[in-house]
Amino acid sequence: MDDIQTQIQEAIDELVESGAERGLQVTVFRNGEQVVDAVAGIADHETGRLVESGTPFYCYSVGKGATSTVAHVLVERGLFGYDTPVVDVWPEFGVHGKEAATVRHVLTHTVGVPGIPDDTTPEDLCDWDKMCAAIADAEPWWEPGTKIAYHAYPFGYIVGEIVRRATGKPISQVLREEVAEPLGIADEIYFGVPESELGRLARLEDMEGSAEMLASIPDDSPFFKLGPRQVTPTAEFGNRPDILMADIPAGGKMSARAVARMYAALVDEVDGVRFVSPERLREISAGTFSGVDEIMGFPTAWALGYSVGGPGADPQESKSVLGVGGVGGSFACVDTATGVSWALTKNRLTAGFESAEQISEIVTKAVEED
Q: What is the pLDDT of residues 281-306, one digit of tens each?
A: 999 999 789 999 999 999 999 999 99
The residues with which 341 forms a beta bridge, in sequence order, are 29, 334
Q: What are the residues whose beta carbons fall under 8 Å from the beta carbon of 36, sequence distance 6 or more?
A: 4, 5, 8, 26, 27, 28, 342
Which structural domain range is residue 203 located in? 4-369
Residue 242: what pLDDT?
A: 98
Q: Per-residue pLDDT averaged across 225-243, rounded?
A: 93
pLDDT band for position 75 (50/70/90)? Answer: very high
**Cβ 332 vs Cβ 324: under 8 Å:** yes
Give me the number of domains the chain comprises. 1
Determine the average pLDDT of the residues in 90-99. Answer: 97
CATH number at residue 50: 3.40.710.10
d(CA 109, CA 16): 35
Residue 370: what pLDDT? 80
Tens digit of each residue's pLDDT (9 = 90 or more) over 8-44: 999 999 999 999 999 999 999 999 999 999 999 999 9
The confidence band for 316, taking pLDDT boundaries of 50, 70 and 90, is confident
For the full predicted model, state whether its pTM sits above 0.85: yes
Task: Find, among 355, 339, 291, the residue nearest to 57 by Cα.
Answer: 355
